[in-house]
Amino acid sequence: MTQLQNFLLFSQEVLDARAAGKAIVALESTIISHGMPYPQNVEMAREVEQIIRDGGAVPATIAIIGGKICVGLSPEQLELLGTSPDAMKVSRRDLPFVLSQGKLGATTVAATMICAELAGISVFVTGGIGGVHRGAETSFDISADLQELAQTSVAVVCAGVKSILDIGLTLEYLETHGVPVISVGQEGFPAFFTRESGFKADFRLDTAAEQAAFIGTKWQLGLKGGVIVSNPVPAAQAMPKEEIDAITTQALQEADAGGVKGKQVTPFLLSRIKQLTDGRSLATNIALVKHNAQVGTALAIAMQAVVA
C-alpha cells in the first residue's frame, strides 16, 4: 500500500470526489494519443469528461507522466497527450519501463484497468477494446486487453469490438477466460462502427441497476476479473456496414503489405480507416465514446449502492 502511493498521483478533482464519496469514472489516454488526430482527440477528451460531470460523477483520465500514474488530468495534461508524438502507447508490459524512465505514457485499456483498480475505481469508459486480430492463428496477435479483462476487476464500458478484429474469436477467448459480455438495449454484441456484429452478447441488461447488481455479484462471489458492458453506437451515428467492411478489408491488406506489426497495428488501422472514410469514422468514434460516457456514469453511480 505504501509503495502504491508512491506511484499514484490523484488530481485535486479526484481527491475531492474520493473525500466526498462521489462516483468516479476512469478514462484511458491511448484513445487520445494514438486513437484520434489532433485537435479532435483533445476536444473529445474534454467533452467526455464534461458528460461525466454533468451526469453526477467525476472523470479520472489516466496517463503516466513524470514517473507517476496520474489519475485525473488537467486540461494542459490532456493537451500534452494529444499533441506529443513521443507519448508511448502503454500496455501492461510497458508500465514499468515508462514509470521508471519518467517517460510520457498513454494507457491502453489493459494499462488503464490496472491503474483504475490500483486507484479503487471500478468503472472505466472507452470506445473499443482490443481483441483477437484476424489471422491470429499465424501472427499470435491477441491484445493484452483480453488477458487483463480476465484478471483485473474493472467494468469496461465500450461499443464492442471493431471488425478490424476477429470478433468471433475475441468472444471465444473472453468466454474461455470467464469474462462476461453484457449488452445494453439489444441482444447483439455491437461492432463499434455498427450496431450489430452478427454475434450475440452473453447477457442483455438494459439498466444501470441491473448491470451494477451483476458486476457486484460477480465480485462478491470472489470471481475476479473484468466485465464488458457493450453499448451500441447510436443509430443516427452508425456507419453503413458495407462501407465499413470494404474499407476495413482494404486497410487490413495495406497493413499486411506494409509489414505493420505489433503495437502499431491498431493505430495504423484506425488512422487508415479515418482517411478512407474522409473522417466520417472519426465522427462515429467520437459519438460512441460520448454515448458510452453516459452509460458508464449511470453505472458508476449505481455501483455505489452495490459494492461496499
Q: Does 280 bind ligand PSU (CB under 6 A)?
A: no
- Reading the block at residue 234, the C-alpha cell is 447510436
Candidates 30-38, 54-62, 170-178, 193-201 — which segment interacts with ligand PSU by CB under 6 A? 30-38
Name beta bridge partners: 61.
27
Q: How far is the CB of 82 from ligand PSU (least distance, A)?
A: 13
Per-residue binder mask for Mn ion (CB under 5 A), 92-111, x = binder: --------------------
Residue 92 binding: pick among ligand PSU, Mn ion, none (C-beta 5-8 Å cut-off by kind): none
Q: Select from 162, 218, 274, 280 the one that contacts ligand PSU (CB under 6 A).
A: 162
At CB < 8 A and 24+ separation, what contacts does 196-203 make?
Answer: 196/232, 196/241, 197/160, 197/161, 197/163, 197/167, 198/167, 199/167, 199/168, 199/171, 201/230, 202/175
Candidates 27-35, 72-80, 95-103, 276-284 — which segment interacts with ligand PSU by CB under 6 A? 27-35
Report the residue closest to ligand PSU, judged by CB.
35
What is the end-to-end Cα distance of the chain in Å, rounded?
19
Nearer to Mn ion, 94 or 141 (CB): 141
Nearer to ligand PSU, 35 or 190 (CB): 35
Number of residues near ligand PSU (by CB under 6 A): 18
Q: Does 127 bind ligand PSU (CB under 6 A)?
A: yes
**CA pseudo-torsion sign 270, 36, 9, 48:** negative
Indicate the Cα dihedral angle 266, 269, 274, 278, nearest 10°: 180
Return the residues of window 203-232 that contact Mn ion according to CB under 5 A. none
Report strand pairing: 8-10 vs 68-71. parallel
Between CA 147 and CA 77 the distance in angstroms is: 29
Q: How far is the CB of 58 from ligand PSU (least distance, A)?
A: 21
153 labeled part of a ligand binding site = no
Between CA 113 and CA 108 the distance in angstroms is: 8
Q: Select from 11, 30, 152, 248 the one that contacts ligand PSU (CB under 6 A).
A: 30
Q: Select from 13, 28, 117, 166 the one that contacts ligand PSU (CB under 6 A).
A: 28
Residue 241 is among the residues annotated as catalytic for this protein: no
89 labeled part of a ligand binding site = yes
Grid cell 438494459 in the structure block, residue: 206
Residue 224 is among the residues annotated as catalytic for this protein: no
Q: Select from 13, 117, 141, 166 the one that contacts Mn ion (CB under 5 A).
A: 141
202 labeled part of a ligand binding site = no
Catalytic residue (choose from 79, 162, 263, 290):
162
Q: Does 128 bind ligand PSU (CB under 6 A)?
A: yes
Q: Which of 94, 19, 36, 17 is nearest to 287 (CA)?
A: 36
CA distances from 260 to 17, 36, 195 (A): 42, 18, 28
Between CA 282 and CA 193 the distance in angstroms is: 10
| Cβ 294 vs Cβ 55: under 8 Å | yes
Instruction: By CB under 6 A, name the binding residues for ligand PSU.
Output: 28, 30-31, 34-35, 91, 108-109, 127-128, 130, 143-145, 162, 263, 266, 270
Instruction: By CB under 5 A, name the binding residues for Mn ion.
Output: 141
